């Protein structure tokens, strides 16, 4: 079994292989490099060897790395909610643009993001219910994998419940745009949905009837 190298380990993976060819780069340049090859380990390997052929041993500058490597990023749609929940909007936008370029269907993207929002709402409701669950107990009850609980914990502590409800309402608006019921740019609205997890944005409320329906839907 060859396990994939996740985004959190990719920079270290690149650094180790540059060390083998006696080349080093600073931390910011390393993160830039990782961002350009995320999800495409074969391309990352090739770009590292290219740097070894182009430049001598020693410290590489940002300009040298930037001029040498290509943007060969390949993203999985499941990486998008991770960027959204951590409020990493630079990465969120980069992933979203990559998915758009690869022709990933907007309904699939919306379904995955909406599911994360519903999960956060359910955690809030269980935490504040008469049972008074802790966040950890609520996540266990919802069968959230231990490996993902740290990510959800950070999001639930940072994001207020009203913002989550508004986000779910916005997801409903995007769904209507996809179906042609409302006008709007689907990709721009998907970007705005993510941005509102980094800042307390104000969404348009559709109406009390819709609000009750969506909250009930989130409990299913």
Residues 146 and 171 in one domain: yes
Residues 165 and 213 in one domain: yes
Count of structural domains, the chain: 2
pLDDT digits (tens, 9 = 90+) for 93-144: 988 988 898 888 999 999 999 999 999 999 988 888 777 788 888 888 888 8
Q: Where are the alpha helices (DSSP H) in the chain?
A: 7-20, 27-37, 41-54, 62-68, 79-85, 89-101, 106-127, 135-141, 146-158, 161-178, 186-195, 208-218
Entry pTM:
0.63
What pLDDT does 98 receive?
86
The CATH number that applies at residue 176 is 1.20.272.10
Average pLDDT over residues 188-195: 90
Residues 105 and 208 in one domain: yes
Q: Please identify, among 41, 68, 95, the residue that sits at the C-terminal boundary of a domain.
A: 68
pLDDT digits (tens, 9 = 90+) for 52-67: 988 999 999 998 988 8
Residues 196 and 122 in one domain: yes
Give me the domain span that covers residue 25: 7-68
């Amino acid at each position: 079994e060859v396990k994939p190298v996740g985004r959190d380990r990719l920079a270290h993976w690149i650094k180790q292989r540059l060390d083998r060819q006696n080349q080093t780069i600073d931390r910011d340049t390393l993160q830039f490099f990782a961002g350009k090859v995320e999800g495409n380990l074969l391309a990352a390997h090739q770009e590292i060897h290219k740097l070894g052929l182009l430049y001598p041993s020693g410290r590489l500058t940002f300009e040298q790395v930037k001029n040498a490597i290509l943007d060969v990023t390949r993203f999985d749609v499941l990486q998008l909610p991770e960027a959204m929940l951590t409020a990493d909007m630079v990465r969120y936008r980069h992933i979203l643009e990559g998915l758009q370029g690869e022709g990933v269907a907007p309904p699939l993207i919306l379904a995955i993001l909406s599911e994360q929002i519903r999960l956060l709402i359910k955690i809030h409701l269980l935490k504040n219910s008469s049972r008074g669950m802790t966040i950890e107990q609520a996540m266990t009850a919802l069968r959230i994998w231990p490996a993902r609980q740290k990510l959800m914990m950070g999001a639930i502590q940072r994001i207020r419940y009203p913002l989550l409800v508004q986000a779910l309402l916005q997801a409903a608006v995007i769904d209507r745009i996809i179906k042609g019921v409302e006008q709007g740019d689907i990709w721009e609205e998907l970007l705005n949905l993510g941005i509102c997890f980094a800042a307390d944005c104000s969404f348009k409320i559709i109406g009390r009837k819709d609000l009750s329906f969506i909250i009930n839907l989130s409990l299913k």
